[in-house]
Amino acid sequence: MRDKTNNITGECTSFKENVYFHKCKNKQHFPDEGPINSAKAQQIVGIYFVRKWPYPFLLTYHVLGEEFGKSKICFISMKGKKWHWRARTSAIYLSQNIPFQHSFRVIFATSVLNLSELIALREDLRNTKKIIYFHENQLNYPRQEYKDRDFQYGYNEVLTCLVADLVIFNSMFNRDSFLNGIKKHFDILPDYRPKSLKERIENKSHVIYFPILNLNNPVCKNYNVRLHIVWPHRWEHDKNPRAFLNVICRLSKNSSDFDLSMIGEQFTDQDTFEEIRKDLGDHIANWGYVHSKEDYFQILSKSHIAVSTADHEFFGVSMLEAAQRGCLPLCPDKLVYPELYPSCCLYKNYEELYNRLVYFCTNVHKIKSLVQNLNVDRYNCKSLIPEYIKLFR
């Protein structure tokens, strides 16, 4: 047995050798690849594509382990990058690495996997209860440029749903946008279009929100300082960082008093963003990706307002994490946001966002009552984990 410190929760967790993690690259959080000592006793196989902060993976492992016994769970992961290749080729890789001697009764996998290919390659898994989890869907994913190959990603997800026994979405918006997008997606076919796909998938579809980690201690927010705005997203086109920075630069030019934490992974236009950073000068409190989850949460706890300018969002973990830590979320009145937040957290356009930020720059104390009336407890682990456990029974 090897003990590792869980950097997400601060707890010490034990990973038994008879729970199998296949080639997990994140050595900070996971044990090395190890032998399968009791594959025949394992009942649940979980398939994940792991990001830098893999706490959904850890969360599922610990929750299922407590409920069913960790020796009955087999986790198999692939590194959370090169998504196009994962979507196209992961099935054959996983078919070779899921244990052949087993007594699995449940497969729980993310929608990146083409489940239909996996089951075709591994007929011994056909009779398991197959659960697919959609964190996002490709039928409603914004693309800068559509290519013919993009059809295949949505097509794979539809095939996966047809093979699955249960299809779980992390929001009603995610579910509805996927189901309503099926016909349009298949209209591209020149002929022989399949029928009743939406109805077949809808009958097995359910919504269970993504569980946010519980707060151990309430956040004590200081409202007697200047406004602190945080933008906790990837700096990519679908999150629209340019729109946000246009609003922030306008705030700066009118001499508004505020601090800014622009955090998240940055992949493109680094030179452009660096020029903007220089223009914002002493407004900058934090700039760039925060490697430590603890430091990241500290920034959220010190911030007053979290802003989203996303053109694509099926759930929005970072905004809920911010709201949980006392930030007032300001989000577009579209996508998943009206499902999660009351009207006081939504804006119709960037002019309204700008005006609200101008107001809060001189009325920081007004945020307190708005945040106190914002209840996000229904999205935490305590509320949602029992629903997930029911899936595996």
What pLDDT is attached to residue 43?
82
Mean per-residue pLDDT, 23-28: 34
What pLDDT is attached to residue 39?
54
Residue 307 CA to its chain's centroid (Å): 17
In a domain, 27, yes or no: yes
What pLDDT is attached to residue 83?
84
Whether the pLDDT of residue 275 is over 80: the answer is: yes
Residue 302, helix vs strand vs coil: helix
Whether the pLDDT of residue 14 is over 70: the answer is: no
Whether the pLDDT of residue 147 is over 80: the answer is: no
For residue 54, name the pLDDT band (cuts at 50, 70, 90): very low
- From residue 242, give the alpha-carbon distance in Å to each of 52, 234, 310, 357, 362: 24, 12, 10, 17, 25
What pLDDT is attached to residue 41?
62
Whether the pLDDT of residue 22 is over 60: the answer is: no
For residue 4, name the pLDDT band (cuts at 50, 70, 90): very low
For residue 34, name the pLDDT band (cuts at 50, 70, 90): very low
What pLDDT is attached to residue 20?
29
* Burial class of residue 350 in the structure, from the number of CB atoms within 10 Å of its CB (0-12 exposed, 13-18 middle, 19+ buried): middle
Contacts of 301 by beta carbon, 8 Å cutoff, 6+ apart: 219, 221, 325, 326
DSSP state of 59: H
For residue 40, name the pLDDT band (cuts at 50, 70, 90): low
Do 266 and 346 reside in the same domain of the chain? yes
In a domain, 190, yes or no: yes
Do 65 and 146 reside in the same domain of the chain? yes
In a domain, 240, yes or no: yes
If one counts the domains in the chain, the total is: 2
Rounded to two decimals, the pTM is: 0.85
Question: For residue 283, what are the domain limits?
Answer: 227-375
In a domain, 345, yes or no: yes
In a domain, 310, yes or no: yes
Q: Which residue has the tokens 């509320």?
A: 383
Do 199 and 282 reside in the same domain of the chain? no
Do 98 and 198 reside in the same domain of the chain? yes
In a domain, 48, yes or no: yes
What pLDDT is attached to residue 265?
81
DSSP state of 266: B
Do 233 and 154 reside in the same domain of the chain? no
Percent share of the chain, pLDDT over 90? 60
Do 167 and 79 reside in the same domain of the chain? yes
Mean per-residue pLDDT, 178-189: 95
Whether the pLDDT of residue 18 is over 90: the answer is: no
Domain CATH code at residue 132: 3.40.50
Whether the pLDDT of residue 342 is over 50: the answer is: yes
Do 202 and 236 reside in the same domain of the chain? no
Which of 143, 94, 134 has its CA nearest to residue 111? 134
Domain CATH code at residue 290: 3.40.50.2000
What pLDDT is attached to residue 63?
67
The string of pLDDT tens digits covering residues 99-139 is: 999 899 999 999 999 999 999 999 999 999 999 999 999 99
- From residue 149, give the alpha-carbon distance in Å to each of 140, 210, 236, 293: 15, 29, 21, 36
Do 198 and 240 reside in the same domain of the chain? no
Mean pLDDT of the chain: 84
Residue 111, helix vs strand vs coil: coil
Do 328 and 197 reside in the same domain of the chain? no
Do 127 and 11 reside in the same domain of the chain? yes
Whether the pLDDT of residue 44 is over 70: the answer is: yes
What pLDDT is attached to residue 58?
58
For residue 343, name the pLDDT band (cuts at 50, 70, 90): very high
In a domain, 222, yes or no: no
**Tokens (6 digits) for 171:** 């929001």
In a domain, 217, yes or no: no
Whether the pLDDT of residue 77 is over 90: the answer is: no
Whether the pLDDT of residue 165 is over 90: the answer is: yes
Whether the pLDDT of residue 271 is over 90: the answer is: no
What pLDDT is attached to residue 11?
31
Do 19 and 159 reside in the same domain of the chain? yes
Whether the pLDDT of residue 92 is over 80: the answer is: yes
How far apart are alpha carbons 47 and 109 in whole angstroms? 5
What pLDDT is attached to residue 51?
56
Do 163 and 238 reside in the same domain of the chain? no
What pLDDT is attached to residue 145?
63
Contacts of 238 by beta carbon, 8 Å cutoff, 6+ apart: 141, 142, 310, 311, 312
